[in-house]
Each structure stands twice: as structure tokens, then as C-alpha cells.
Chains A and B, each alone.
Chain A
Amino acid sequence: MAELTQDGRKIGDILLEVKNITLAFGGVKALTNISFDIKEGEIRAIIGPNGAGKSSMLNVISGFYHPQQGEVWFRGQKRGPMRPYEVARQGIARTFQNIALFKGMSTLDNLMTGRITQMHTNILWQALWKGPAEREEIAHREKVERIIDFLGIQAIRKTPVGRLPYGLQKRVELGRALAAEAKLLLLDEPMAGMNLEEKEDMCRFILDVNEEFGTTIALIEHDMGVVMDLSDRVVVLDYGKKLADGTPNEVRNDPAVIEAYLGVGH
């Protein structure tokens, strides 16, 4: 069943599949009849020009937008209507195109909040603190500290994130998503607005997460070079329609994609 990639990573069965998704805001169709799948262990890129509907697609997967038509299947099950926090509990974590950190909280607390779906001690134990609440806190703190080490953000652990520069905020947001230890990680333009060095770091993190933890990743990215390097398969959207779907090479040589991107005929 499992295929191997050229660099020896294992790609498994379909983890998530969207079928015939149509999403409209009033009269504006953001997505028209979109279908594609994401396989376990792969890095899946979603590309397309601005306004193509990429972020809307992630919002559908997150359960934040409810499409007028179509189905989302996760781990072999059709998903009923769900609130976003229930989707998160199923094991889908994400970052946002415009950084959506909790500005008043420290880096550490932001990452700890990323683990909230897995913390359960009730309010009475929390009030007492000593006992189950403290034990749970320490257990999760250890996991979070590993992510802090992995991302090299030890020095800003206690800094309120509002004070951090943009690049670091992006990194902390990735950390918060990683902290969830999700099955599927959705990254909305994780490298937007970064300089070259920061982009390289971010690429490294994404590849390492995928390799070391086997996390499945779906990411939106504009930089074609980055997409070609990182991803196993690419789906191309344009004006809410699916233009192409395949390996980076197939997509690059697809006439429809070339036309959309290079504007042949204009």
C-alpha cells in the first residue's frame, strides 16, 4: 500500500479528501466543485494566484467555512457538520495567513494553548492546582519545551508575543500548531513576508517535522521554487476552480497552469 518517495519517506493511504466542494459568499463563488486528497505522510501544496480560494479551502477543512455543496472525508469517515474546535480535536492544526497569535500571552503560553485539545483536568482540580492539574501542566510543558528546542526559540519563551518581530511570530505560530501534535497540519503561507534566511529556516522546519514525526502537511505557498522543493504533490487553484493536480513536475509542465501563471495570449 505505502509508496516511498525518492528521499525514502513513506506515503500512506488517503488521510483527508475533499469531494466536490462548492463555497459561495453571496453571489461570489470562492470555490467551485473542488476535489482532491491528501495522503498520510505527504507534503501537499496548494497554489494559485491571489483570490484563487486557497485560504477558503483551508477554512473549509478547518470547519470555519461551511460549503454549500460537497463533502470532507477525514481518516476514511465522512465528516458531519462540525464546529472548528471539534475539527481541531480530531487532529487538524493550522497556522493563518495573517498571524493570529494570542498577543497578550507569552510564547510559552501560546504553545501551551496549542495543546488545549489534549488537556482535560476539570475546574476543581485546576482551582486546587496541586495534584492532577500540576502534573498535567508539567507533562504538557515537557512536550512544549521539545518544540521550543526544535524551533530554537528558548530565549523568547517568556516574552509576550506581541513584542516579537514578524519572522519570529511566524515561527511561534508554527510552534503553536506543532504543539497540537496533529495528524494533519495546515499552513497558510508560512513564508509570506519573510527574508531569504527566514524562509530557509522555515523550509527546514517543515521538512523536519514531516520527516521526524511523519506529520502530514498541506501548505499554501506563492514562491514556486519553495513549492517545487518541498512538496510531493501540488494542487493548483484559479478563480475557485481546480486547474491541475499532480507532482511538481507534472504541474509545472501543464499547459493550463503555464497559461494561468505566465498569461500566455496576453
Chain B
Amino acid sequence: MFYRESGDFKTSYSADQQTFPIRLDRHVVYGILAFAFLVVPFLINDYWEKSVLLPFLVWAMAALGLNILTGFCGQVSLGTGGFMAVGAYACYKLMVAFPWLNMFIVVILAGLITAMVGVVFGLPSLRIKGFYLAVATLASQFFLVWLFNKVPWFYNYSASGMISAPERTLFGIPVTGAEAPPWMTYLFCLTLVTIFAFIAHNLVRGRIGRSWMAIRDMDIAAEIIGVPPLKAKLSAFAVSSFYIGMSGAMLFALYLGSAEPNDSFGIAKSFLVLFMIIIGGLGSILGSFLGAAFLTLMPVLLKNIMVGWFGWPADLAAHLELLLIGALIMFFLIVEPHGLAQLWRVTKERLRLWPFPH
């Protein structure tokens, strides 16, 4: 049977604090990771790479980032698209300026640059909250997109105003550019997302995560018991922007190959990531993945069903898809306002005590 244990039998605090305290969870997660790293690279093709796996990984990274800021620290942001743009343009400038630089380092540096920008745009959060902060971050969204449109230096004065990723190799194999094989781009993104998901988990379960959650739950009490609000909020902005910057860099360099501020990083993207964490679960690492999976994979699935199986015209399917996704979002929010992660947690709690629920 699944989840048979019916009680807390941990005998040491380190066992109680481990990443996946339930043995079955541990096995499932490690099993998925082994499959993702060892099997998928042999099966992957262009379609799976570009339509399913890369978008999922890129948006999961963005959702992790926004969830740290909004879900864990309670600071609403509508600037995600803008910060992804910072990551993408930083990535582009770094790739061009230092062609020999390892792509992992490039993406991480792009994240760090975004973190610094995020801290600057996070400063208003020290004075304003809630809707007002959302509006302030919305302003940063528009400002950043405008900036990358208006200042040609960012796109190296290219005539089209677009940036495109030059070919870079890793172990002699192209990882960016048109020649990059699907398994390479996939493994690159998977490695980054896996590492940084564990890091996010480590951050939220310790001192820093608790300082974020304390600010989220009751900021005045948090300060009076010893949480410095400035440090807590700005560190959340920094870490969140770091993740979002990396996702922007991956979106541009690995997934799209070229980008342009309005289409690739517009306000729609900010809302998309916000939807992901709301549907997946605010304040949950797993929820970031579930939300990203839901909103990237569901459209693909619906399209395949409607166009592929039923043979409906593509434009009709596209409209129906939007309707269906909207309806599903509402359905999930009504059934479980705390998101898919909570739905999963509740089901698990029931299973763990089964068959004696009391």
C-alpha cells in the first residue's frame, strides 16, 4: 500500500528535517530524477524539447523565483516579465562579450545581474505593500521592456532590434544556436533547474525562509521579535530575481534562440507566472513545478486532443483551449484555493493514515 506509516517515527532531528521526510516521496522523486536524467535524453526529439520539456523547465524556474518572493515573502510582483528580460539581455551581452565563458556561468551571472536589478526595484517594498506594491512592480515591468526597446546598446545595434543567441558549446557540443541537439539543451536546463530547486528548498526551510514567511504572515510582529524587514524583503527580491533572471536567460538562449522585449517578456508573461504559482500553490516548491506543468503542458495536451484526435481546425482549437484552461483554473481554485500542492498534501495525509483515519 502507499504511504503506510500512520505516525511520526523519526528519532533524530536531522532525520525529521530531511528534504523528503516520507520514504515513498523520496523514492518517487529520486525515481523521477533518474528517469529525467538517464532515460529522457535518449528518447527526446525536437517536438518534445521545444513544445514540452524546455518550456516546462524554463517556466518552472521562473515560478520558483516568483514563489520565493510572493508565496514565501508575501510581496506581490507583476514585474516577472521585465526581470526575465534583464536575465535574457544580460545573458546575451555576456555571451557576446565573453565567447569563451561556460554557459552555466553565463546563465548564473545573468541571474546575479538580475538579482541586483531586482533589489533596486524591490526598494519600494520597504514603504508600500499589497496592491500598491503590485502597481509599483508593474511600473518596473513597463520600464524594463521600454528600456530594452529604446536603448540599442542592449541589442548591440542590430537592425531588427532583436537579440539572438550565438552558438556556444559545452564539452565540444553546441548548447545554444540552431545546431544544439535537443538532449543537450534539455540536460542543460534540467541540471540548472534541479540544482536550484534543491537550493530553493534549503533556503526556505532554514533561517532565511522563516524570516521571509514571518514578514509575509505578520510583518510588524516579525520585526518586533527580531526579523530585520529590510534584509528579509531585499533578500527575497534578490533571490527571486536571481531565479527569474536565470529563467529569462534560459528562455532566450536555450529555448527561443532569439528574443524581442515586447513579445518574449511582456506583461502577459508576468501574469502567466503569477497564475502558475497561484494554481500550483503559494509558498510551495512542489507547487511551483505543478503550476508550471499545468500551464505549459495543459495547452499542449488540449491541442493534441482537439486537433490531433478529433481533427478540429487549429484556430477553433486555440480558442477552445483558452476557454478550457480558464475554466480549469477556476475549477481548481474553487476546489482547493491553496493550489495543487495542497490538494496533493491533503490526499497524502489521508493515504498515510489509511485505513484508520482517526
Contact = CB atoms under 8 A, between A and B. Distances in A.
Size category, A interface: 35 or more
Interface in A48-94: 62-64, 83-85, 87-89, 93-94
Nearest to B19: A129
A93 B17 contact: no
B13 A142 contact: yes
Contact of B220 (A64, A129, A138): A64
Contacts of B208: 123, 126
Given A101-B218, A116-B207, A123 B235 contact: yes
Contact of B13 (A64, A83, A138): A138
B283 interface: yes
B223 A84 contact: yes
Interface stretch (A106-114, A207-215, A252-260): A106-114
B19 to A, nearest CB: 8
Given A62-B224, A123-B235, A102 B218 contact: yes
Interface string B1-45: 000000010000110010000000000000000000000000000
Given A105-B213, A134-B17, A142-B13, A85 B224 contact: yes
Contacts of B218: 100-103
Interface of B is mostly: helix
Contact of B228 (A83, A113, A141, A158): A83
Contacts of A176: 225
Interface of A is mostly: helix
Contacts, number: 109
Contacts of B228: 83, 85
A128 B207 contact: no
Interface in B186-242: 199, 202-203, 205-208, 210-211, 213-214, 216-218, 220-229, 235, 239
Shortest 3 CB-CB contacts between residues of A and residues of B: A88-B226, A100-B221, A102-B217
Given A62-B224, A145-B13, 18 more contacts: A64-B224, A84-B224, A85-B227, A88-B226, A89-B226, A96-B221, A100-B220, A102-B222, A104-B283, A105-B214, A113-B213, A117-B226, A119-B207, A121-B207, A126-B206, A137-B17, A138-B13, A176-B225
Interface of B: 8, 13-14, 17, 199, 202-203, 205-208, 210-211, 213-214, 216-218, 220-229, 235, 239, 283
Interface of A: 62-64, 83-85, 87-89, 93-94, 96, 100-105, 109, 112-114, 116-117, 119, 121, 123, 126-129, 133-134, 136-138, 141-142, 145, 158, 176-177, 180
